[in-house]
Amino acid sequence: MEVNSSVSEFILIGLTQDAPKEKAVFVIFLFLYLATLLANVLIVMTIRYSQTLGSPMYFFLSYLSFADACFSTTTAPKLIADSVAEKKVISYNACMTQVFAFHFFGCMEILVLDLMSFDRYVAICKPLRYTAIMSPRVCGALVKLAWAGSCIHSSAQILLALRLPFCGPNVINHYFCDMQPLLTLACVDTYVINLLIVFNSGAICTVSFILLLISYVFILRSLSNHSAEARRKALSTCTSHIMVIALFFVPCIFTYTRPLTVFPVDKMVAVFYTIVTPLLNPLIYTLRNAEVKDAMGRLWCSKL
């Protein structure tokens, strides 16, 4: 994989180079990462073994939690390990693997959020046809399409990354490997490649965000025909989804829809959508969803 590069490894700057701050980074992000894994695995296992959470909404939620756990794992462990390491080094092959995994699970999360909004649209706007439209077979096919779409997206990213020649500087001003930091190190004109990245990652984020907003506009408009109790329940669910969408998509759009320009705030924005949001997602869905909390309490109390 190194035919286009004379660089065999990269040095990651990380979040800070101040020793006391690095200790704080280790403690804080180790806690956040372990909490993310625990919360998301708990949701996946609860939905998997609960008898009451068999609807398509919870089927997609389990995949969102799985994607969250994997997405956080692509960056957090390296950040945590580097915060106590003398040299923050990542090999060329490991860097390319991180690019692929990061975009694969990031795209998976986006597509699953799309599926969840479609499920809510059908449930609220087409209630009489909901069971027929969102059958288990259809839901399974939709998830398989999401896996395929994620693979296509991440394959396109890694093919662009492998074409970049690195022949000099190998210091990445970030805490993980991504396309934008790598483009600044390439010893070739990256204008066209940057445009391709914007059309790929930027388009996926922006188009999905717009479609999600449109779907929720239709959902909210249709609630006027429902009873007060149905409106309250639907608004509670939709509010949770909209919070997740805003927390994830706004930072992603900021990062992937602009020309190749590095801002000091980029790393903190990346921390938010790679580490903080995967932890907030399960908290938002469980704390605002009585069914999940009840099922979780019954299931794990019986297990214990």
Residue with tokens 């499920």: 119
pLDDT at 287 over 80: no
Q: Is 280 a domain residue? A: yes
Instruction: List, for residues 81-125, the tens digit of each pLDDT value.
Output: 999 888 889 999 999 999 999 999 999 999 998 998 899 888 888
- Dihedral sign computed on CA atoms, order 154, 156, 161, 162: positive
> Which structural domain range is residue 42 located in?
9-303
Q: Does residue 90 form part of some domain?
A: yes
Which ranges of 126-201 would DSSP assign to H, the alpha helix? 130-133, 136-162, 179-183, 191-197
- The verdict on residue 2 lying in a domain is no
Residue 3 inside a domain? The answer is: no
pLDDT at 4: 55
Residue 2 has pLDDT above 80, yes or no: no
Is there a domain that residue 159 lies in? yes
Q: Report if residue 79 sits inside a domain.
A: yes
Distance CA 82, CA 12 (A): 8
End-to-end CA distance of the chain: 49
0.75 cut: is pTM over it? yes
Residue 89 lies in a domain: yes
For residue 187, pLDDT beyond 60: yes
Structural Rg of the chain based on CA atoms = 21
Number of domains in the chain: 1
Mean of pLDDT values over 132-147: 93
Look over the chain and give the mean of its residue pLDDT values, rounded to a whole number.
Answer: 85
Of residues 168 and 196, the one with the higher pLDDT is 196
Cβ partners under 8 Å of residue 71, min gap 6: 102, 105, 106, 108, 109, 274, 278
Query: In this structure, is residue 291 part of a structural domain?
Result: yes
The helix/strand/coil state of 44 is helix
Domain containing residue 118: CATH number: 1.20.1070.10
**pLDDT at position 304:** 60
